[in-house]
Structure 1
Amino acid sequence: MISLGADTIVLFKQFTDWTDTLRKIDERIWIGPIAEGKATVAEIIAHLQHWDRYLIDTVIPALKRGEGITFPSFDAFNRIAYDYARSGVARDRLLDEFKQTRHALVERLLAEPDVVVKHVTVNGVETCPHTGTPYSLLYIIHEFNDHDRHHQNQILAVI
C-alpha cells in the first residue's frame, strides 16, 4: 500500500516551480528531441498539460457522475499534444498554459476531496496491478507525480 495525502497534491502543484526554470534553456534544447526518436522538451510539456486538461474536462466530471476513470489510447492522445507543441506555440505561452492548467487542476482537487479519495475503477480495473492499491483520483495523481519525475529526469539529462 502507498501512503497518499495532501502532500501528493502539493508535490503535484510544486512541479510547476521546476518547469518555470525551462524558460531559460537554450532554444535548441527546447525544440530538439531528448534522444533519437523521442519527444522534444516542448512536446513533453504539451503532453503533461494535455493530460492535466483531460483530468479537469473528462475525469473529474465522470467521477462526479459516479463513473470510473477511462483513459484513451495513449499514442493517439499524446500525438495531439505533440502536434500542438510543433504548431509554433511560443515557449513562454506553452509553459504558462501548463502552469495555469496544473494550478486549475490542483484547485479542483482541493475543492472536491470526496471525489479525489473515492475508490474508482480505471479502464474497468479496481486496483493497480503493480501495487495492489485501490484506484482513486488521488492515486492517479500519485502516479502522475512519478510520471512528472520521469520526464523531469529525461529533460535534466539533456540540459
Structure 2
Amino acid sequence: MSEVKSIIRHFNHYSSWLITLEEVDETLWFKPIADGKWSVSEIIAHIMNWDNYLLTEILPSVQNEKGMEFPDFGIHNQKASNYAKSGISQSKLLEEAKDTRELLVKELNELPIEKLKKPLTANGVTHCPHTGTPYSLIYIVKEFTDHDNHHQRQIIQFLRENSLFLKI
C-alpha cells in the first residue's frame, strides 16, 4: 500500500472509533474533559467542523490547483463549540461526524495521488515551519490525523477516569 493510501486509511479509522462513543452517558458527553477544556461533544463537533471545511473549501481549492486557505482557528472552533451546545443529540452528532468523515475519505480516495501530493501553499506559506516539509493536501490530512489522535487520547483518558473504558 502506498504511503498516501496508508495516510488516508489511518484518517478513516476515526469513523469506526466514533461508534465506541455511542454508549457514553449523556452527563459525561456534555461534561468538560478538564477545567477550561471542551466536552466530548464539543471535541467531536470540532473535528467534524474541520472535516466540513476540508470538504467544502480545501478540496475544491486543491482541485483548482489553488493554495489552501484556513480560517481563523479561534472563530472556526467556537462555531463547533456552539453547535455542540445547540441542542443536537449525541446520536445525531455522532452520525453527522461519521458521515462527514466518510464522505471526506471517499473524496480523498477519488483524487489522483499527484493532486494529493502536489505542493501547495497553506495561508500563503509553502513549507511547514515545524518540519520544513512542503505543504500538500496529503500533508494536511496527515496533520489532521495527528490532531484527531490527540483528541481521541484526551477523550479516552477522560472516560477512563470516569470508569468508562473504550476500545481504541
Name the structure 2 match of 1:37: 36
Counterparts in 2 of 1:21-100, with a 5 A limit? 21-100=20-99
Instruction: Supply the AA of the counterpart residue of 1:8.
Output: I
Any idea what the Cα deviations from partners look like across 1:62-101, whole Å, max 9, x if unmatched?
1222210111000100111111100110111100101100
Q: Distance in 2 between matches of 1:116 and 1:57?
A: 16
Two-structure CA RMSD over aligned residues (Å): 1.2
User: TM-score, length-normalised on structure 2?
Assistant: 0.90
Matched, 1:112 2:111: yes
> How do residues 135-150 of structure 1 correspond to structure 2 at under 5 angstroms?
135-150=135-150
CA contact (8 A) 1:4 1:138 kept: no
Amino acid at match of 1:7: S
Partner Cα distance (2:31, 2:122) in 1: 34
Gaps of 5+ in 2: 160-168
Shift of 1:112: 1.1
1:128 aligns with 2:128: yes
Q: Runs (4+) of structure 1 moved beyond 6 Å?
A: none
Query: How far apart are 1:117 and its partner, in Å?
Result: 1.5
Q: CA deviation at 1:115?
A: 2.4
The alignment partner of 2:132 has SS state of: coil
Distance 2:157 2:70 in 1: 29
Question: Is 1:10 matched with 2:9?
Answer: yes
SS at match of 1:22: coil
Contact 1:121 / 1:135 at 8 angstroms: preserved in 2? Answer: yes
Give the unaligned 5+ runs of structure 1: none
Q: TM-score, normalised by structure 1?
A: 0.95
Percent identity at matched positions? Answer: 46
8 A contact 1:60–1:115 mirrored in 2: no
User: Contact 1:62–1:69 at 8 Å: present in 2 too?
Assistant: yes
For residues 21 and 79 of structure 1, the distance between their equivalents in structure 2, rounded to whole angstroms, comes to 25
Secondary structure of the residue that 2:134 maps to in structure 1?
A: coil
Work out the CA distance in 1 between the residues paired with 2:35 and 2:77. 18
Secondary structure of the 1:25 match is: coil
Tell me the secondary structure at the aligned position of residue 100 of structure 1. Answer: helix
> In 1, distance between residues paired with 2:28 and 2:78?
20
Indicate if the aligned counterparts of 1:15 and 1:148 stay in contact, CA closer than 8 A: yes
